[in-house]
DNA sequence: ATGAAAGCGCTAACAC
DNA sequence: GTGTTAGCGCTTTCAT
């Protein structure tokens, strides 16, 4: 193993020496302090530029006890929904002069725990997080509290953690989706749910069940399946359902991504959509419009959730204390070809 | 405006006081230093846990001059390709005990400049970056050099910046795509390119042109279009092409995302693919398989590029100096229905 | 095996 | 308007 080099960075004392002034003057000049003469400011800025000076966040945040950094933990950066959320956060953050650092748990608790450690160690001013599908205990989030780092959770949240939440009405999402399918005449509706230990998925399931109950439709027990929505799980579910005595005539799936796979597999099995089955996805994605048939969806407003999450964390930081606000963002039923009335 | 609170975090001196020992002992115990007795280590670790202690990266990196952080700058986190790259980086980073912080330029130079500042200020141990579509001057990346932060660039790179590069052979990508279309009998091939001030796009265009030349096919000047591949640009291009005297019978587009839009617009204009035109995208995405017709593509191995990029940055960090390695990753022609031989 | 002290780069009183 | 000094939380000689 080779040596870790010491990195010689340019510091304010380099600037100070070159100009033969005090480091505090340099610091003030760089921070545009009003008591520093324009002449000095100019000199300092010029030398800073010349030397390629960049502030050390480590040093300055050590004394200021604030990093102007917001940490974001999402399961997958590549998913359209999380990408939207990130964009919403970044848009607002920029407005307010905050920088955003993004971490990915990859739907993996171990990784999520790592990320909480990094963000803690970095002493970000605030955290915005969405739980991984695997996350059961939320102990690792408690460290933020101890370090007085406020945290807002969105989408897949835990009420065991203090702080604002930004969510949709997941019960409503499940209800509206089921209701729509019932209205177009479907009677044997299956629900491919994410892990129901996650509250969001549990709530959707609830809404789904209640819609059936209200319309006095049967809930075939095997038609309510909690899984991790992987391609493998989807294939297994489909095999079971479509080979059973009672086939579903509609499927609600709890992620946009799974809808695409579902449709592709079903088509390859020889089924026609929406003639044989209707499909609707909880969560929307651009590909829902590209696939044949286009896929109906419940839209979850990612960007808006991102913006709201930043607003919440910003308030916490400014007030120096967490609220327990729960902000519920509106969903939207998007009817496309996969659930057209026959 | 309200007050910025001081955040009282738990420090090693809290632990030291509680145990009535020196902070240096605590530090050693926490770092598992061999000279510390097991008894002391245990005591320290217990109290650390009890108090919810988390190291301050700011403080420790200040003295160690190393953060164990890798900064990544990508244009869009939501794009499948960049998400793959990020996953590749993270996989390797985890292996080696590095943490990754992800920044998004949003294809925007101003934002990109901001990100370089953040990463500089954070004194990450290394940077992995892909230029935004807008980036012309790369002056803002020079600061990394001055701070002795190594940087590897991938995909859209600039050779004005020192350091390793991880790329594909873009010339080949353009060539192979064109060649494939020629082989299936296409003669009026259009190329919707990204901004050709970006070397990758320029190279692809070169490969495209050379393939035509080699087969003595005409290049209609209006069929080579450099734009930012937005939906608006695509519609404009299509309007121009399809209303012209000479219509293209094939289109190569320089991003996966644009292929989906292209296809959708073309279909809505009443054209049949691949009967009227063939399409191939430079870069692949899962949706290329969902859309009808499925879209041929040149696959660019994102995850592999990510892994290689981390390997390169890791070497730089360990050796304490940048190489100028250029690592070229293999591409792959994926023939799907949009370019099937008629 | 542990402690004392210096110092990383910066900011914030407090002087003048 | 600028300098002096202390100190943020940590690691690292150098002692013992």
pLDDT in tens, B110-145: 999 989 988 988 899 999 999 998 998 999 999 898
Please say if the pLDDT value at position A105 is more than 50.
yes
**Mean pLDDT to the nearest integer, A260-289:** 95
Q: Looking at per-residue confidence, does A121 or A280 come out higher?
A: A280
CA gap B299, A268 in Å, rounded: 24
A-facing residues of B in 64-103 (CB < 8 A) are 65-67, 69, 76-80, 82-84, 86-87, 90, 94, 99-103
Through-space separation of residue B318 CA and nucleotide C1 C1' in angstroms:
32
Helix (H, G, I), strand (E, B) or coil at B4: coil
Q: Do A287 and B290 touch (CB under 8 A)?
A: yes
Q: Which fold has domain B170-300+333-339?
A: Rossmann fold (3.40.50)
CATH fold of B3-55:
434 Repressor (Amino-terminal Domain) (1.10.260)
Does residue A342 surpass a pLDDT of 70? Answer: no
Q: Quick check: helix, strand or coil at residue B32?
A: coil
CA distance B213 to chain A (A): 35
Write the burial class of residue A48 (CB in 10 Å: 0-12 exposed, 13-18 middle, 19+ buried).
Answer: buried
pLDDT at B148: 87
In chain A, CATH 1.10.260.40 covers: 3-55
Give the pLDDT band of residue A48 (cuts 50, 70, 90). Answer: very high
B77 close to B83: Cβ distance less than 8 angstroms: yes
In degrees, rounded to 5, the angle at the alpha carbon of residue B95 between the alpha carbons of residues B92 and B101 is 60
- B323 lies within 8 A of chain A by CB: no
Sign of CA dihedral B187, B188, B191, B196: positive
Q: What pLDDT is stored for residue A2 in this prediction?
A: 30
The token pair at B150 is 């190594």
Q: Return d(Cα A88, Cα A310) in angstroms, integer.
A: 8
Residue A1 has pLDDT above 70, yes or no: no
Mean pLDDT across chain B, nearest whole number?
93
Decide if pLDDT at A37 tops 60. yes
For chain B, percent of residues with pLDDT exceeding 90:
83
Mean pLDDT calculated for residue range B213-229:
94
What DSSP string runs through B80-146?
HHHHHHHHHHHHHHHHTT-EEEEEE-TT-HHHHHHHHHHHHHHT-SEEEE---TT----GGGHHHHH
pLDDT computed for residue A97 by the predictor: 84
Cut 0.85: pTM above it: yes
Residues of chain A with CATH 3.40.50.2300: 65-167+302-329, 170-300+333-339
Per-residue pLDDT band at B271 (split at 50, 70, 90):
very high
Alpha helices, DSSP H only, in chain B? Answer: 12-19, 23-30, 38-51, 57-64, 80-95, 109-122, 142-146, 170-183, 199-214, 231-243, 256-268, 302-319
Average pLDDT of span B204-219: 96
CA A21 to C1' C12 (Å) is 17
Q: What is the pLDDT of residues A223-260, one digit of tens each?
A: 999 998 999 999 999 999 999 999 999 999 999 999 99
Query: Is the distance from CB of B127 to CB of B71 less than 8 angstroms?
Result: yes
CATH of B65-167+302-329, one of 3.40.50.2300, 3.10.129.10, 3.40.50.720, 3.40.50.1970: 3.40.50.2300
Nearest to B266 by CA among B251, B245, B281: B251
**pLDDT tens column, A183-231:** 999 999 999 999 888 899 999 999 999 999 999 999 999 999 999 899 9
- Residue-level pLDDT at A6: 46
Interchain CB distance below 8 Å, B147 and A10: yes
Task: State pLDDT tens for residues B84-103.
Answer: 999 999 999 988 988 888 88
Is the pLDDT at B5 greater than 70? The verdict is: no
pLDDT for position B3: 34
Percent of chain A at pLDDT above 90? 85
A51 touches strand C (CB under 7 A): no
Task: Kindly report the backbone phi and psi dihedral angles of residue B68, in degrees, each rounded to the nearest multiple of 5, phi listed first.
Answer: 60, 30
């Amino acid at each position: 193993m080779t040596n870790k080099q010491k990195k010689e960075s340019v510091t304010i004392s380099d600037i100070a020496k070159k100009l033969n002034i005090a480091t505090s003057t340099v610091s003030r000049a760089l921070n545009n302090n009003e008591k520093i003469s324009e002449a000095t400011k100019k000199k300092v800025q010029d030398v800073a530029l010349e030397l390629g000076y960049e502030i050390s966040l480590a040093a300055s945040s050590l004394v200021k006890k604030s990093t102007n950094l917001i940490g974001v933990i999402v399961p997958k950066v590549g998913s359209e929904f999380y990408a939207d959320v990130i964009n919403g956060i970044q848009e607002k953050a920029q407005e307010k002069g905050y920088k955003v650092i993004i971490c990915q748990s990859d739907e993996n608790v171990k990784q999520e725990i790592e990320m909480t450690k990094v963000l803690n160690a970095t002493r970000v001013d605030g955290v915005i997080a969405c739980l991984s599908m695997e996350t059961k205990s939320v102990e690792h989030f408690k460290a933020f509290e101890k370090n007085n780092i406020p945290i807002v959770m969105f989408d897949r949240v835990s009420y065991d953690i203090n702080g604002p939440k930004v969510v949709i009405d997941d019960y409503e999402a499940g209800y509206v989706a089921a209701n729509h399918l019932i209205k177009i005449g479907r009677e044997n509706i299956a629900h491919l749910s994410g892990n129901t230990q996650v509250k969001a998925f549990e709530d959707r399931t609830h809404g789904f069940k209640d819609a059936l109950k209200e319309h006095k439709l049967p809930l075939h027990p095997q038609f309510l399946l909690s899984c991790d929505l992987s391609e493998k799980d989807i294939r297994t579910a489909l095999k079971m359902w479509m080979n059973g005595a009672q086939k579903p005539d509609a499927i609600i799936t709890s992620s946009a991504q799974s809808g695409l796979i579902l449709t592709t597999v079903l088509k390859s099995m020889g089924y026609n959509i929406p003639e044989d089955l209707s499909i609707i996805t909880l969560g929307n994605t651009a590909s829902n419009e590209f696939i044949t048939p286009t896929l109906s969806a419940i839209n979850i407003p990612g960007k808006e959730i991102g913006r709201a999450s930043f607003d919440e964390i910003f308030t916490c930081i400014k007030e120096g204390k967490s609220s327990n606000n729960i902000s519920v963002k509106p969903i939207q039923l998007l009817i496309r070809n996969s659930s057209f009335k026959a």
